[in-house]
């Protein structure tokens, strides 16, 4: 399998640091709101949570030797949360954000954005870890859906996608009416819905694959994602 972002980051030994930094920044974008939800569930307010996460990511992005980020490797998600715990235990939130973020380019997400973007209220989760897991799962699902939507639009099939998108939540309710609306047959609608689900599944798998060391861990991470979504 082609190297994932995470395996590329952990395997670099003084190689293409700029490429590694870009890969790390892309992964951090995926987990921003998940870590923010974790911090909120710890009792920090929205601004302090944003300061903590931004300071943490700024610290990571300032590193020169990316191989030092995870000597034991493993899943990026697990390592990242452990690293944030370590960062929080050694830095005061606002002081850390001011010191670490002074000369670094921060990720373009802020507390207000996160407050509006979160699909789950962190305070409703039983633990900070549960808040992190569920927000991670929701973000990955939403991102995969967004990528599929954009792909259909690029193919000139935005209307088809809009009509079939409910199929990602379950079975289509009125296939006959939808077929009439799309000027096609009921069988064609069912086939198109099946293709949409498959493309969504492929995109979801691809996103998860970017955050693990090898392909053998993808199924485990997908199972963790489903558990996080169902645990309420």
Domain ranges of the chain: 5-230
Residues 117-124, mean pLDDT to the nearest whole number: 52
- Predicted local confidence at residue 180, as pLDDT: 94
19 pLDDT higher than 60: yes
The pLDDT tens digits for 34-64 are: 899 999 888 888 888 888 888 888 887 776 5
Q: What CA–CA distance (Å, rounded) separates 32 from 20?
A: 18
pLDDT of 64 reads: 55
Residue 71 scores a pLDDT above 90? no
| Residue 15 pLDDT greater than 70, yes or no | no
Residue 106's pLDDT is: 46
Report the mean per-residue pLDDT for the chain. 77
pTM: 0.71
| Among candidate residues 170, 215, 211, 225, the one with its CA nearest the CA of residue 193 | 170
Inform me whether the pLDDT recorded for 5 exceeds 70.
no
The reported pLDDT for the residue numbered 8 is 57
% pLDDT > 70, the chain: 72
pLDDT of residue 209: 84
pLDDT value at residue 9 = 62
Who wins on pLDDT, 79 or 3?
79
pLDDT at 135 over 80: yes
The token pair at 49 is 């949570």
Residue 96 has pLDDT above 80, yes or no: no
pLDDT per residue as tens digits for the range 161-210: 999 999 998 888 899 999 999 999 999 999 999 999 999 999 999 888 87
Whole-number Cα distances in Å, 188 to 154, 165, 175: 21, 15, 10
49: Cβ contacts below 8 Å, ≥ 6 apart: 36, 39, 40, 111, 114
Sole residue written with tokens 């974790």: 38
Q: In which element (H, E) is residue 46 found?
A: helix 46-62
* pLDDT for the residue numbered 122: 55
Condensed to tens digits (0 to 9), the pLDDT of residues 99-112 reads: 544 444 444 444 44
> Cα(139)–Cα(133) distance, rounded to whole angstroms?
10
């Amino acid at each position: 399998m082609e190297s994932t972002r995470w395996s590329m980051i952990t395997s670099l030994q003084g190689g293409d640091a700029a490429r590694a930094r870009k890969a790390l920044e892309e992964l951090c974008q995926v987990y921003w709101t998940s870590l923010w939800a974790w911090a909120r569930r710890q009792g920090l307010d929205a601004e302090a949570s944003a300061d903590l996460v931004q300071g943490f990511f700024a610290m990571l992005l300032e590193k020169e030797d990316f191989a030092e980020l995870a000597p034991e490797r493993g899943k990026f998600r697990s390592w990242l949360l452990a690293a944030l715990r370590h960062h929080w235990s050694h830095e005061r939130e606002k002081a850390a954000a001011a010191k670490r973020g002074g000369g670094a380019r921060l990720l373009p997400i802020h507390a207000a954005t996160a407050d509006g973007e979160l699909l789950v209220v962190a305070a409703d989760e039983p633990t900070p870890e549960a808040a992190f897991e569920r927000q991670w799962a929701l973000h990955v699902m939403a991102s995969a859906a967004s990528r599929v939507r954009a792909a259909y639009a690029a193919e000139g099939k935005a209307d088809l996608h809009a009509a079939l998108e409910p199929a990602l939540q379950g079975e289509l309710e009125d296939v006959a009416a939808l077929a009439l609306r799309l000027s096609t047959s009921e069988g064609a609608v069912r086939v198109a819905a099946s293709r949409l689900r498959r493309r969504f599944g492929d995109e979801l798998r691809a996103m998860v694959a970017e955050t693990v060391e090898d392909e053998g861990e993808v199924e485990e991470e997908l199972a963790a994602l489903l558990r996080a979504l169902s645990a309420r």
